[in-house]
Chain A
């Protein structure tokens, strides 16, 4: 059944709805031990449908995910919605409006073919060729996602986004050091727009790591520099969920409404949920609200939470364009801004294992440091890892510097963050 016809029939049978049609074309080539092994392609479509039905003064809601749409699906949706409990509150769904369009589309990706992919992977294989190193795995993926959101308030928005990524993992033959990295963008990445190549970078890093030495506790600098990779994963697993409006409303956050405008971290730090910028920014969220730039923390002071449409209305604030179609919220790119200066002597924590075991309510984390360096200005000396236990909120309170260059990666735009930590 055509999507338009489906939504037309649905509109007559339910009170409100949000429907998303996704069509995905993706291609992928894999490489193992410096040899290209697999080529894959996928061409599929799927639908996500959220419906609301009135039950007296209250509403009932359900979510349905399907690969095919027909009248039978509509019957199942209605049955499911009627079975649902009444919502505690419901204020409606986003209204129709003119959106400021964000484009994340590169025609070059659609013209990129398997032969081009093989050439790129062969370049990577060549770059990582070394007597002491194995390119254990690598892959290149590219594709397009065409998405159309229709809701019962007249929002009808279609977007076409492209994506491109390349990842590689190297290990030394003696297995003492390994390194993984990736590059990704909505547009084709080539040597002209990416100054350091992925292959050269990971080969240099893994060869450096081979020289890692054990260090005495007394020689560890007290200024600890969290790399972008570590900072983003610790923020994600031990801190950010406290900024979800729904979690605040339900007492599942470290903060409550009264904490707004209180100083919670170092006054030189600002944390922003930036839905309007970044490689994978989108025009609207999963409910049809225009995305926004929202200051979560401004110069150390708690300023805002992220909201979907209904939680925002219930809290008498504007939605932040962070809603997902099934009623949750998700973060956009997180920007960490600061005027703090570089610090020369630091312990750089470059990679950790176990960040996802952190406790987001208390912000406690206990991780094994996988890669670390001692920084002396621009000079980095690799050292062996050890266990690190702390609270993310304390790391952000004790921040004393920002090192390295500002970069967008891992869903964040930030420099490395330096914090005073006692071991």
Chain B
């Protein structure tokens, strides 16, 4: 491997290139699922590959592959494309460059998943299945365990040489329950998941999430419909995560700003929310969205997006940082080594506030408490969004009331930000998910507090 890297580096150094970087990635993952108490699927996937990015004058070429015998051809291809682009494009292009970094780091784990046999992984998911076997309303149950080890190497023209080994583990459930309601069979589903950079030890935490799913899927069977309208709203940490990630976060990505596709363009320094609102995107730590270095060799860091309600800045890759004349924020990420790094979020959250959950509930006369997320979508240019909660509860006269189903929240990013009037006093671990952008999907999370909106447009029946 070393010889191959040296050969390519020599070739790239000889060419008249302003910036280059080479990435190598080896990934090994195992996945075990159960369906109604039986092992449903066991699978393993191994992948490897490389990518070479070249900046020649004002042109960027990017070539990838997984046949190492072809790597020199790929380097030549990348340079050829960069030269062709330079000839065809009159616009100035650049990639932020800094001092070299040499580092070698790996996820600290208690129990390395590579030391755990597939039998033990099977045993864990079967234990999960057994845990719910006496639940009378369950129509079906599915449990999943998944781990992946990514070994990444990064080299660039600054002289950086970075190696990192990341261990991702997650486990979760998907429960389907049914019951006869007014003579008709009602079917409801609820899913939960735990995941972060960790070892097999994380599996112990999953049972408390299963308890939560059992409780909620049963509540959903008795849940009522809600009349659509404007309500005071409390969002749980997972729904807050979806709002902060989808509605605010994407609009703060510098490439979206540069495309003219963000409602937050030219809004830095503007007051968007009350003083209590502080928002960060962070790559440090062992969350599902964390790493040591991004896919452009920039160290993981905490990036402030909103401070005391004022928009402070955007998230950057090396390329957008060069364009905006700022330092990159460690947000240059790619799904696999085959994809070019673009601006992506990590762990995006509202900093905790001072309010107790009970006080937030008791402050509401007629409102809705919305929990979890079934996903959502946002139009970053117009700043409009729609998110569906997994379930909710009515709030009447300061108390939590009946459970409700099929509720959604929609509105505009700027209105919703300005409507945040209370923030919970602790942040909870969010739902480990994958964010899709530009055909690439990367692990992200948001560890957020409960928030209260003075008004929210809630969709129901």
Partner of A40, one of B122, B340, B375, B385: B340
Per-residue contact bits, chain B 354-388, to A (CB 8 Å; 1 contact, 0 not): 00000000000000000000111111011111111
Are B63 and A41 within 8 A (Cβ)? yes
Closest to B50 in A: A44
Q: CB of B218 within 8 A of chain A? A: no
Stretch at the interface among A3-11, A172-180, A271-279, A407-415: A172-180
Are A83 and B118 within 8 A (Cβ)? yes
Closest to B457 in A: A387
List B contacts of A250 (CB < 8 A).
Answer: 35-36, 140
Q: CB of B106 within 8 A of chain A? A: no
Partner of B410, one of A41, A114, A359, A387: A387
Q: CB of B182 within 8 A of chain A? A: no
Partner of A175, one of B139, B228, B381: B381
Partner of A41, one of B64, B118, B259, B384: B64
Q: CB of A368 within 8 A of chain B? A: yes
Q: CB of A326 within 8 A of chain B? A: yes
Are B43 and A62 within 8 A (Cβ)? yes
Are A43 and B74 within 8 A (Cβ)? yes
Q: CB of B304 within 8 A of chain A? A: no
Closest to B261 in A: A136
Are B375 and A357 within 8 A (Cβ)? yes
Interface residues of B in 114-135 (CB under 8 A from A): 117-119, 122
Are A118 and B88 within 8 A (Cβ)? yes
Stretch at the interface among B65-73, B284-292, B416-424: B65-73
CA distance A64 to B117 in the complex (A): 16
List A contacts of B386 (CB < 8 A).
Answer: 353-354, 357, 366-368, 387
Report the minimal beta-carbon distance from A191 to chain B, rounded to whole angstroms.
21
Are B406 and A366 within 8 A (Cβ)? yes
Stretch at the interface among A65-73, A224-232, A280-288, A307-315: A65-73
Q: CB of A45 within 8 A of chain B? A: yes
Are A366 and B388 within 8 A (Cβ)? yes
Q: CB of B317 within 8 A of chain A? A: no
List A contacts of B223 (CB < 8 A).
Answer: none
Per-residue contact bits, chain B 69-88, to A (CB 8 Å; 1 contact, 0 not): 01000100110011011001
List B contacts of A327 (CB < 8 A).
Answer: 41
List A contacts of B340 (CB < 8 A).
Answer: 38, 40
Report the minimal beta-carbon distance from B293 to chain A, rounded to whole angstroms.
22
Report the minimal beta-carbon distance from A409 to chain B, rounded to whole angstroms.
18
Using known A-B contacts A38-B340, A67-B46, A357-B375, determine if residue A32 contacts B41 with beta carbons closer than 8 Å. no
Q: CB of B93 within 8 A of chain A? A: yes
Per-residue contact bits, chain B 34-55, to A (CB 8 Å; 1 contact, 0 not): 0110110111111111000000
Report the minimal beta-carbon distance from B59 to chain A, rounded to whole angstroms.
8
List A contacts of B38 (CB < 8 A).
Answer: 85, 88
List A contacts of B119 (CB < 8 A).
Answer: 83
Closest to A82 in B: B118
Using known A-B contacts A178-B382, A356-B375, A387-B459, determine if residue A42 contacts B63 with beta carbons closer than 8 Å. yes
Are B85 and A36 within 8 A (Cβ)? yes
Using known A-B contacts A33-B259, A44-B66, A115-B84, determine if residue A63 contacts B377 with beta carbons closer than 8 Å. no
Are B42 and A83 within 8 A (Cβ)? yes
Interface residues of B in 12-62 (CB under 8 A from A): 35-36, 38-39, 41-49, 59-62
Are A361 and B376 within 8 A (Cβ)? no
Report the minimal beta-carbon distance from A152 to chain B, rounded to whole angstroms.
19
Are A64 and B228 within 8 A (Cβ)? no
Other 16 A-B pairs with CB < 8 A, given A42-B65, A43-B65, A368-B377: A37-B93, A39-B61, A41-B64, A43-B64, A44-B64, A44-B67, A63-B43, A66-B47, A68-B46, A76-B44, A115-B84, A252-B140, A353-B378, A354-B376, A354-B387, A387-B386
- The 6 A-B pairs with the shortest beta carbon distances in the complex, nearest first, are A368-B386, A357-B388, A85-B39, A353-B377, A65-B45, A39-B81
17 A–B contacts, CB within 8 A, in A order:
A32-B255, A32-B259, A33-B258, A33-B260, A38-B340, A39-B82, A40-B61, A42-B64, A65-B45, A73-B46, A175-B383, A250-B140, A354-B386, A354-B410, A357-B386, A357-B408, A359-B406
